[in-house]
Amino acid sequence: MNNDSQVNLKTIYAAIREEGFSERTINIINDYTYQILNGKTNLTQFTQAEHAGLCRAGEMLIGAYIVCNYAQASLAAGADAGASQAGPANWEIDEEQENLVQQWAEAKQIWYPNAEADIESEYGSMIAQGAEAKVYYKDGDTSVVKVRTSIYATLSRALESIVLHNTLFHETPMNVIGFTRDADGLFRSISTQPYIGCKRLATKEEIDQMVAEKGFKDNLDGRGVNYIGERLHLEDMHPANVFVDMISNTPVCIDCIVKFIRR
């Protein structure tokens, strides 16, 4: 990360380590988040276009991502101190990230202990459910609410997937508004997304053309729904995740799996 202000990662990490998620720590993370949103600080792992996708995801995602980075750095430091030959496993990173993000979200009052009941009351009934998300909608609203579980190796990678979705698919950006655990104890993010009136499901040919224009090609795994670019994997691009919009009459992606290529 680059910044010219007094608030930086070192300040944030020290505050979390020494005070936990005190009011002062929350304010420091908020200040740093606003620096990112105002273009005064950037996360160097993201390109300029991806940084715009990060900002579309909102301050709650940015704060959670900062906490995830702290969790991973803290575990790595502990492994180094113990003269470990290998860094922490992904399951250890994921568990620590979820625990710390929950503590931060509770302190920030964006943790929903009864999210599904609260969301149905405020945002309407569940209209769809897949492996990754439950979708809620109230007639007349311009947005749906998604309660998404992580199918990624770590929580930070799940948050990155939202950033990368927003980068690739400007018509359907996800904005994170909170976090919860479901009845099975699975950690979930809560986000809003524009409602898309579905004229029909996109065809395979329409999806191929759409992703080709974004720099992706079939990864040749034989499934026909997974693609690869210079920097990203784009997966699960089947017609149920790509609608033809009733207004624009063009295919739009409402959900998919997006990951950095890690070598």
Residue after which a domain boundary falls, among 194, 216, 249? 194
Residue 1 placed within a domain: no
Alpha carbon 176 to its chain centroid, in Å, reads 8
pLDDT score, position 92: 96
Instruction: Indicate if the pLDDT at residue 211 is higher than 60.
Output: yes
Residue 222 placed within a domain: yes
Task: Give, in order, the Cα–Cα distances in Å from 172 to each of 57, 105, 186, 200.
Answer: 11, 25, 25, 17
Tell me, yes or no, whether 189 and 236 share the same domain. Answer: no
Tell me, yes or no, whether 59 and 20 share the same domain. Answer: yes
Cα distance between residue 227 and residue 258, in whole Å:
10
Task: Give, in order, the Cα–Cα distances in Å from 132 to each of 128, 129, 146, 255.
Answer: 11, 8, 10, 9
Tell me, yes or no, whether 123 and 104 share the same domain. Answer: no
**Cβ-contact 57, 166 below 8 angstroms:** yes
**Cβ-contact 36, 9 below 8 angstroms:** no
Sheet containing 125-129: give its strands across: 125-129, 133-137, 143-149, 187-194, 175-181
8-state DSSP, 239: G
pTM (two decimals):
0.92
Number of domains in the chain: 3
Tell me, yes or no, whether 55 and 96 share the same domain. Answer: yes
Residue 119 placed within a domain: yes
Residue 139 placed within a domain: yes
Residue after which a domain boundary falls, among 164, 194, 224? 194
Domain hosting 222: range is 198-260
Burial 27-66 (b: 16+ CB within 10 A, else e): ebbeebbebbeeeebbbeebeeebbbbbbbbbbbbbbbbb
The whole-number average pLDDT for the span 8-18 is: 95
Residue 4 placed within a domain: no
Tell me, yes or no, whether 73 and 147 share the same domain. Answer: no
Instruction: Indicate if the pLDDT at residue 150 is higher than 50.
Output: yes
Residue after which a domain boundary falls, among 142, 161, 194? 194
Q: pLDDT band at residue 85, thresholds of 50, 70 and 90?
A: low
Residue 2 placed within a domain: no
Which of 106-115, 128-137, 190-199, 226-235 has the weakest average pLDDT? 128-137
Tell me, yes or no, whether 229 and 184 share the same domain. Answer: no
pLDDT tens sequence across 21-77: 999 999 999 999 999 999 999 898 999 999 999 999 999 999 999 999 999 999 998
First to last CA, the chain: 21
The whole-number average pLDDT for the span 178-195 is: 92
